[in-house]
Structure 1
Amino acid sequence: MRKSYDKTETEMSENVTRDEASLSVRKADIGAEFGLDGLKGVSIEVPVFDENCQYLVKQQNDYVFDEHMLRHIVSFLGKSSGDALYLYGPSGCGKTSMVMQTAAVLKWPVVSLTINGRFELSDLIGHPTIVSNELVFVHGPLARAMKYGYILILNEIDLADAAELSGLNDVLEGRNLVVIQNNGEVIKPHPDFRMVVTANTCGRGSRGTYHGTQLLNAAFLDRFRFIRCDYMSHDEELKLLELVAPELDAGLLSDMVKVASEIRKSHLDPMPNHIYMSVPMSTRTLVRWATLTVAYSYESDPVDAALLHAFAGRLSEEESSYVLRLKSDVMAGVTDNL
């Protein structure tokens, strides 16, 4: 006999589904809770969940919020108006982490899935499985988020087949999710349910850096708000590095940010004296470079060794040589217009 997975009766229920709806609603003072003066007076209503909910995200104390982006994300979370949110931009610029850390501060549970070329809609809805010799249905991320009012994040959405994604159109319209595999269970979208997708492209595919991205269906894309994300400003990235690698001199950290910026320019809009860089240096990689520099204190040149392992080691010989030379020029103060 097939049973609903929601009534937690088994060990697997305890480990996988301690799902629950919100206990109440509260008014969140965004400026106060995020510590940003520019957002004073901005407030939204957010659901309140049990503090033991397993889908609450751990807050990173060293996370640096982009105030402008935060305002847009908070606006969406506070009132989606029936839309989903599509965040797109270069790899490693913080699309997913921005939403995750916003949810962490607001204590709003998140379920997420990273899409790949073999993605099927059933990955989101769920599947039957055997638990304690009984066949039960395990709800997937979409079904769970819709039922309990969580934030659903789908990463790398532009890697999915457009035909498979069309199965989400009804959900994006605010209609019920019918789970045929679970005896036709009908899941009504919870008022607090939010869907956010991230991608490197805006759904138009890419012939360059982001191989495997797909041209997405216009009807699917018509159901989203689109926000372009980019790398942090110099001052924001410097602030982040000072938090994750306080052992390093502020001047060195500033030079690291300058190197990253020049590499991005060489990727997006190479100048005559720059070679084309096939890969930009993401904020994620920049942080790795700084933390490895601290860890490699035993090296004769920890900055170079860390740069090689964090970034340059995966490049072509020509690009790797250029990056190391660029780093030397920046740190010697001989580059122009940095």
Structure 2
Amino acid sequence: LFFGKHALSTSRDVLKWAKRCAKSEQGFSIEQYDRKQIALVHGDALLVQRLRSEPERLVVAKALADALQTSQLSGEDPHTHYLLKADDTLAQAAHNACVAPTAALMRLVALVNSALDVLEPVLLVGEAGTGKTTACALAAAMSGAQLKVINCHLHSEAADFLGALRPARSSNQDGPLFEWVDGALVEAMRAGHWILLDEINLADDAVLERLNSVLEPTRTITLAEKGGENDVEEIVAAPGFRLLATMNPGGDHGKRELSPALRSRFTEIWVPPLSSRQDKTALVAAALLGGKNSELSQRLDVDLPILCDVMLDFDDWCHSSETNLLNLTTRDLAAWGHFTRGALTLTSMPPWAALGHGAALACLDGIALLVGGGTNTDTCRRARKAAEVALVSAASARGLDPEKLHQLQMALVWDAQGPVSAMNCETSFGVDPFFIKT
């Protein structure tokens, strides 16, 4: 606590910890956890879940348990108990968003809810495609709150958050030439909405430091930019206002870490990459079905488990391949599943042909960009051929019958060689089997 910027925690963390423990009966039942365990769960959420290294997490978790003279947390993730009262709400929100409520996502939503329950601003840190924005959207949907999103970038200005003077739209010629228009953050504070600052570390430090007062427990901001002696206004956030932010780790494509002063005001949560096969299976199945689509579920009744297994086997091959050209993310897997579902819904092609076309769109067609050359380079052709063979081999290893395996192979050949000439008629235009209505 007293090692300055090198400390694991700050005085703010200690105060947050105490505030959470004071409200612990709203999150846990006393019969299930004693007070020491409740304090340990809150301390784990604040101090352990921000750490990005698993060995560090284990060391700090043990130190917390030893300091509180209680047993370490084990078994089912205790943070998900925050969702016991709203389990049906989470399932409904996930269904509406066509998202699989995986164990990893439930943990993340639980940690977000535990912070927002005591009005703490939340910062989610993790690689692209780990579900940071999805977790924020689900948490807002569970609470019935309106979520506003600000996409931060290198040229973000304070006016994007707070507002600015704009040319007046009034038809009164004697009125002022300019009028103040609130920014998205001020609008959310007045209305009690939730706001998400996406990729917050892309914005300049000078801009972000303007938000410091909003991140304090008082949750206020003074609009000195309005100008005039009597136009300085102090905004106090409405009770329903919540602030969330996401960012990729520093060093990821030139992105940087936040300043210590700003970072300490957030409750930081590390979002690890999705690694559980069970969670990935649920994610792929949700992408393929798009919710409880009874017609598509019946059509894929036999093929769905094998489709999921083949996609994940191919994902395993990509991460273990010596070429290291195809580094599939969860977004790639979801896009693959979404395209396959769309092809099945809008065309009459069989599932395995749709899977092959989806693989080309989400994975194979991007190889040329990864090798830095055109589509005719030898390296690109060899890498694509190896990936095609790996996908077909994964399907064959799962016992796919010859007819379905042939459908998959023909789809890959179609995408590799390019389609035949386009067909145009009075009602549609396209190339078989893809058409759009004219």
Give the alignment's TM-score, normalised by structure 1: 0.70
Matched, 1:307 2:359: yes
Matching residue within 223, 233, 255 for 1:213: 255
Check whether the contact 1:178–1:187 (CA below 8 A) recurs between aligned residues: yes
Q: How far 1:222 sits from its partner (Å)?
A: 1.2
Identity %: 22
Deviations 1:190-239 (A, max 9, x none): 333221111121xxx21xxx323124211111112221223263223322
**Could you say which residue in structure 2 is the equivalent of 1:331?**
395
**Could you say which residue in structure 2 is the equivalent of 1:240?**
283
**Could you say which residue in structure 2 is the equivalent of 1:100?**
137
Bigger proportion of residues as helix = 2
**Could you say which residue in structure 2 is the equivalent of 1:181?**
225
Name stretches of at least 5 consecutive residues in structure 2 with no aligned partner: 1-25, 29-79, 87-92, 290-295, 371-379, 399-438
Q: Which secondary structure state, in structure 1, belongs to the residue aligned with residue 253 of structure 2? A: coil
Bigger proportion of residues as strand = 1
Matched, 1:63 2:99: yes
**Could you say which residue in structure 1 is the equivalent of 2:306?**
251
The one-letter code matched in structure 1 to 2:392 is S
Q: Where do 1:1-338 residues align within 5 Å?
A: 39=81, 42-43=84-85, 60=96, 62-65=98-101, 66-80=105-119, 83-129=120-166, 130-133=168-171, 135-175=178-218, 176-182=220-226, 183-201=231-249, 205-206=250-251, 210-229=252-271, 230-231=273-274, 233-246=276-289, 247=296, 248=300, 249=303, 250-263=305-318, 266=319, 274-277=322-325, 280-296=327-343, 298=349, 301-315=353-367, 316=370, 317=380, 320-333=384-397
The one-letter code matched in structure 1 to 2:222 is V
The one-letter code matched in structure 1 to 2:208 is L
Q: Which secondary structure state, in structure 1, belongs to the residue aligned with residue 254 of structure 2? A: coil
CA distance in 1, matches of 2:203, 2:386: 35
Q: How far 1:150 sits from its partner (Å)?
A: 1.8
Check whether the contact 2:199–2:248 (CA below 8 A) recurs between aligned residues: yes
CA distance in 1, matches of 2:385, 2:246: 33
CA gap of 1:29–1:215, structure 2 versus 1, over 3 A, is closer
Check whether the contact 2:222–2:234 (CA below 8 A) recurs between aligned residues: yes
The one-letter code matched in structure 1 to 2:283 is L
Q: Which secondary structure state, in structure 1, belongs to the residue aligned with residue 395 of structure 2? A: helix
CA gap of 1:128–1:106, structure 2 versus 1, over 3 A, is same
Q: Which secondary structure state, in structure 2, belongs to the residue aligned with residue 211 of structure 1? A: helix
CA distance in 1, matches of 2:211, 2:133: 20
User: Highest relative contact order (Cα 8 Å, sep 6+), 1 or 2?
Assistant: 1
CA gap of 1:259–1:217, structure 2 versus 1, over 3 A, is same
Q: Which secondary structure state, in structure 1, belongs to the residue aligned with residue 150 of structure 2? A: strand
CA distance in 2, matches of 1:107, 1:305: 38
Number of aligned residue pairs: 273
Q: How far 1:303 sits from its partner (Å)?
A: 2.4
The one-letter code matched in structure 1 to 2:128 is S
The one-letter code matched in structure 1 to 2:182 is H
Q: How far 1:160 sits from its partner (Å)?
A: 1.6
Check whether the contact 1:59–1:104 (CA below 8 A) recurs between aligned residues: no
> Could you say what the CA RMSD is over the residues aligned between the two structures, in angstroms?
3.2
Check whether the contact 1:162–1:215 (CA below 8 A) recurs between aligned residues: no
CA distance in 1, matches of 2:106, 2:83: 14
CA gap of 1:59–1:148, structure 2 versus 1, over 3 A, is farther
Name stretches of at least 5 consecutive residues in structure 1 with no aligned partner: 1-27, 31-37, 45-56
Larger Rg: 2
Q: How far 1:43 sits from its partner (Å)?
A: 4.8
CA gap of 1:118–1:233, structure 2 versus 1, over 3 A, is same
Check whether the contact 2:122–2:243 (CA below 8 A) recurs between aligned residues: yes
CA gap of 1:88–1:326, structure 2 versus 1, over 3 A, is farther
After TM superposition, the structure 1 stretch with the greater mean CA deviation from structure 2, 302-311 or 215-224, is 302-311
CA gap of 1:314–1:41, structure 2 versus 1, over 3 A, is closer
Q: Which secondary structure state, in structure 2, belongs to the residue aligned with residue 276 of structure 1? A: coil
Check whether the contact 2:127–2:248 (CA below 8 A) recurs between aligned residues: yes
CA gap of 1:309–1:181, structure 2 versus 1, over 3 A, is same
